[in-house]
Amino acid sequence: EALNTRVANAKALNAFIVETPEKALEAAAAVDADRAAGKPLGKMAGVPIGMKDLFCTEGVQTTAASHILEGFVPTYESTVSANLWKAGAGMLGKLNLDQFAMGSSNETSYFGNVISPWRRNDGGNAALAPGGSSGGSSTAIAARLCPAATGTDTGGSIRQPAAFTGISGIKPTYGRCSRWGIVAFASSLDQAGPMARDVRDCAIMLEAMAGFDPKDSTSLDLPVPAWEAGLNSDLKGKRIGIPREYRLDGIDDDIAAMWDNGIAWLKDAGAEVVDVSLPHTKYALPAYYIIAPAEASSNLARYDGVRFGLRDLPEGSGLQDMYAATRAAGFGEEVRRRIMIGTYVLSAGFYDAYYTQAQKVRALIARDFEQAWASCDLILAPTAPSAAFGLGEKTSDPLSMYLNDVFAVPASLAGLPAMSVPGGLSKDGLPLGLQIIGKALDEQAVLNAGLAIE
């Protein structure tokens, strides 16, 4: 009975869209067979993991948490998931997310919101957002339903849910993990990465996920470093930059205190802390919310009722009606909002005023980081401006939801590796995340700083 209650409680979190325990068992049996045959075992041998339902998995429904892809069963496997299976991992199931990875709270999912396993220490039982878009991943790990899961991060979707649920997650340098077979949101920003309980697990899993893939034209043709073997929490000689523009007016006391603690911990680990400036920070969020929807509007044009999933063909209607009916029925409100913003900023009359400007801002953001690297090796900042907010609290106000991404999007626009690690608890007992941003390709330094903090 106790077990049944635990299973029911776990299911109530709504972290999984589909469960595939048989896949995890198959992988474990294959590992047993290899061990018995004296064959070498992979880095993830027998580890049961959750797969964000944005990764195409052969023979297993892949929905991007949308109605339009409901019932879509890919005939192919994403490169990242294939790499994980090659390393010996097994799939426990497909994890819930914000629809097409658009959101910061997992509330835009067609399959219902995920509930964070955390509660405030005020004696109440208010349900909290698990962060997003990888909210199924963060919750499944925080609730101990799986030891690790994949995430994707376009503008914070690995880091912010990790912060909200007290776990770790790293978005590697753009191009480290192949995007092939991952449902596209904003292709110039999308990156896969691991989410797990600690930094070492993230390092192990990232090694398994990353690597060159000729099927993704933006994949980096570089060997995968031995990140796990390179872990070292001694930060002597490392300079940590504290970006003054991230000290927003009216920053939450809890967040400011956590940031100060993080600085102290890194100093204790031998690092030198320096003040740096990222002058264009305040333009990052508006630029992101032009570029990401622009790319999304183009990527989502393929869901036309012909090739994938849902088709709505009203009686006696033509092709245009089918497109319109299918897309109106198949996309949720937030996805429709992004498509409308995206098509607007790309339209002939407004392209230069919005899209071109946003691309220029993106170049300036990248240059800010380049200039900062003259005086530091890593940047330390909060992952998000607050602890987890309540479910429903921000759903009627998209702008306040977008504002939660303020610290996450600059590293995305610049394509840099960035990690969130637990940084302590807020006054009301909720986890807070510290973010470490590194130079392109320097995941090792990011992981090492993460290790020094945890």
Round to the nearest angstrom and report the end-to-end CA distance of the chain. Answer: 36
Query: In the annotation, is 360 catalytic?
Result: no
Q: Which of 292, 300, 361, 413 binds ligand GLN (CB under 6 A)?
A: 292
Nearer to ligand GLN by C-beta: 27 or 163? 163
Under the criterion CB under 6 A, does residue 440 sit at the interface with ligand GLN?
no
Give min distance, CB of 153 to ligand GLN, in A: 5
- Residue of 56, 84, 89, 101 that binds ligand GLN (CB under 6 A): 101
CA distance 304 to 279: 42
SS (H, E, C) the chain: CHHHHHHHHHHHCCCEEEECHHHHHHHHHHHHHHHHCCCCCCCCCCCEEEEECCECECCECCCCCCCCCCCCCCCCCCHHHHHHHHCCCEEEEEECCCHHHCCCCCCCCCCCCCCCCCCCCCCCCCCECCCCCCHHHHHHHHCCCCCEEEEEECCCCCHHHHHHHCCEEEECCCCCCCCCCECCCCCCCCEEEEEECCHHHHHHHHHHHCCCCCCCCCCCCCCCCCCCCCCCCCCCCCEEEEEHHHCCCCCCHHHHHHHHHHHHHHHHCCCEEEEECCCCHHHHHHHHHHHHHHHHHHHHHHCCCCCCCCCCCCCCCCHHHHHHHHHHHHCCHHHHHHHHHHHHHHCCCCCHHHHHHHHHHHHHHHHHHHHHCCCCCEEEEECCCCCCCECCCCCCCHHHHHHCCCCCHHHHHHCCCEEEEEEEECCCCCEEEEEEEECCCCHHHHHHHHHHHC
Residue 405 binds ligand GLN, judged by CB under 6 A: yes
Q: How far is the CB of 341 from ligand GLN (least distance, A)?
A: 11
Q: Least distance in Å: CB of 395 to ligand GLN?
A: 13
Residue of 78, 109, 133, 412 with catalytic role: 133
What is the Cα–Cα distance from 228 to 380, expressed in whole angstroms?
21
Q: Which range binds ligand GLN by CB under 6 A, 98-106, 176-184, 341-349, 427-435? A: 98-106
Binding residues for ligand GLN, total number by CB under 6 A: 13
Rounded least distance, CB 283 to ligand GLN, Å: 16
Binding residues among 153-182 for ligand GLN as defined by CB under 6 A: 153-157
| Nearer Cβ to ligand GLN (104/150) | 104
| 116, 138, 157, 412: the active-site residue | 157
- Applying CB under 6 A, which part among 96-104, 203-211, 378-386, 416-424 lies near ligand GLN? 96-104
By beta carbon distance, the residue nearest ligand GLN is 157
- The C-alpha atoms of residue 216 and residue 259 are separated, in whole angstroms, by 37
Name which position in 13, 65, 69, 102 contacts ligand GLN (CB under 6 A). 102
One of 74, 88, 90, 103 touching ligand GLN (CB under 6 A): 103
CB 42, min distance to ligand GLN, A: 28
Closest distance of CB 406 from ligand GLN, Å: 11
Active site residue 133: yes
CA gap 441, 422 in Å, rounded: 23
Nearer CB in complex with ligand GLN: 220/411: 411
43: number of Cβ within 10 Å:
17
Binding mask 119-148 for ligand GLN (x = CB under 6 A): --------------x---------------
- Give the nearer residue to ligand GLN in terms of CB position, either 90 or 161: 161
The residue among 355 and 373 lying less far from ligand GLN, judged by its C-beta, is: 355
CB of 388 to ligand GLN, least distance (A): 14
Q: Which of residues 199-258 bind ligand GLN (CB under 6 A)?
A: none
Active site (annotated) includes residue 52: yes
Segment interacting with ligand GLN (CB under 6 A) among 117-125, 150-158, 265-273, 345-353: 150-158
Catalytic positions, written as ranges: 52, 133, 157
Which positions touch ligand GLN (CB under 6 A)?
Answer: 101-104, 133, 153-157, 185, 292, 405
